[in-house]
Amino acid sequence: MVVDAARMQRRRTFGQSVATMVPIEVTSFCASTCRFCGWRADNKEMVRLSITETAIREQARILARKGFSHFEIAGGDDLTLLQQHLKGLVRGLKEETSAVNPEARVSVCLVPMHEQHYRDLRQEGLDCVLTWQETYDRELYGYHIPSGPKAWGVDEQLRLQKKTDEPVGFLHRLRSQELAIRAGLQAGLGAMIGLSKVTEADILSVVLHGRRLIEHYGDAVEPLIIGMPAWNPILTQASDNRPASEFDFDTQGNFELIAAIYLLAFPDRMAWVFANGRVPPDIQTDCVETACCFTSTLVQISPGAYLDFKQSELDTMFERVRGVAEATPTFEEVMSGEQFMHYFASHEEFVAGFEARNLHVVSDRSYLRRADWAVAAE
Ligand code: SF4
């Protein structure tokens, strides 16, 4: 019944349209130690890479020509990158993608920053900040995220704060959406489904969090992007904490229902439920049909993964490299450093699957035009 109701609302609100996005990882260096993640600082088996502005520009051109309209900069908690390179990466990505597609939009999914940083990044072309809380349970957050910027927060100079008894990183993360909205940006929120034994509590916390933002900031709030991260196995099997934990959440079996709940829990058009590569493409496409107007395709989660390894001048593409044989990694070495295991299908395969279900691809910018909402409502 919930899924049927969501399908009706989805058709009424977004018709048969879907917007596609692609994550571009810029660094796998990370100073945090999240137990569920392959990139945690204490995982010594992991290859580490960070890319240059040249590399993001080249990947931007490749991806924009495929038809994406939304491009997400993602990466580990790498404060060097934040302090020295992030503005150039945002500017480079926006310039290159806008030259191919004037509708192009750019988001970041990184360490939560402060309001002035978000304002500065907006000047460079940033449109949106995605921040997944992982869990709204403070104690559980502290257990899974024991140290680093995600546990202790960063100051206004983007330096790691000292450890205190207060859950500074947890609270700062919780405010990230609000700081982004005040800076004039769209915001995304979400919890890692299944991390808490009481998954329902985290799902409802996401809903309450989003509703409070809408109540408080009114028309200043763009539709909220509702992410659904999940705890997948990692590539370095010997250092994977998942088997030893009692994690038993049925992610695939519940993904569509949770997507439907999120869509129904928000006012019409105010939730872009975001289906990602954490479940197989057929389940992801079911979710798109039921609830998700926003989805990733062609997901590869290692810095440099979309470069053309036959054509690129690879010695200009990597800013820092650790754990590979040469200064310039091979494609296989790059792919061995993905953050976690995920499902893969090309953009073209996803689009063909959407079209087989009478879904057509639009730009996510088209969902923001409030003037169109009023016309549709009439
Ligand atoms: S989830 Fe993010 S912050 Fe945590 S270890 Fe992984 S990359 Fe670092």
Residue keyed to tokens 């496409």: 285
| For residue 372, pLDDT beyond 80 | no
CA distance 71 to 360: 19
Provide the pLDDT for residue 70: 98
Residue 30 beta carbon below 6 angstroms from any ligand 1 atom: yes
Q: Please give the mean pLDDT across all residues of the chain.
A: 95
Asked if 260 and 280 touch (Cβ cutoff 8 Å), the reply is no
Helices marked H in the chain — which ranges?
2-14, 53-66, 79-84, 86-100, 115-123, 138-144, 149-152, 168-182, 199-217, 251-265, 281-290, 331-336, 347-356, 370-377
Residue 66 Cα to ligand 1 midpoint, Å, equals: 29
Please report the atom of ligand 1 found closest to the CA of residue 111.
3
Residue 46 beta carbon below 6 angstroms from any ligand 1 atom: no
| For residue 374, pLDDT beyond 90 | no
Provide the pLDDT for residue 376: 59
- Residues 157-192 pLDDT 10s: 999 999 999 999 999 999 999 999 999 999 999 999
Provide the pLDDT for residue 369: 78
Per CATH, which fold does 2-377 belong to? TIM Barrel (3.20.20)
Residue 76 beta carbon below 6 angstroms from any ligand 1 atom: yes
Please report the atom of ligand 1 found closest to the CA of residue 40.
5
Residue 286 Cα to ligand 1 midpoint, Å, equals: 29
Residue 37 beta carbon below 6 angstroms from any ligand 1 atom: yes
What average pLDDT does this structure show over 312-320? 95
Residue 370 pLDDT class (50, 70, 90 cuts)? confident
Percent of the chain with pLDDT over 70: 99
Residue 148 Cα to ligand 1 midpoint, Å, equals: 9
Provide the pLDDT for residue 84: 97
Residue 77 beta carbon below 6 angstroms from any ligand 1 atom: yes
Percent of the chain with pLDDT over 90: 92
- Residues 72-121 pLDDT 10s: 999 999 999 999 999 999 999 999 999 999 999 999 999 999 999 999 99
Mutation pick for ligand 1 pocket among 30, 236, 240 (CB with most ligand atoms within 8 Å): 30
Of how many residues is the chain composed? 378
Provide the pLDDT for residue 375: 61
- Residues 288-312 pLDDT 10s: 999 999 999 999 999 999 999 999 8
Query: With DSSP H G I counted as helix, E B as strand and the rest as coil, what are the percentages for the chain, rounded to 5?
Result: 45, 15, 40
What average pLDDT does this structure show over 247-255? 94
Asked if 74 and 24 touch (Cβ cutoff 8 Å), the reply is yes
Residue 345 pLDDT class (50, 70, 90 cuts)? very high
| For residue 33, pLDDT beyond 60 | yes
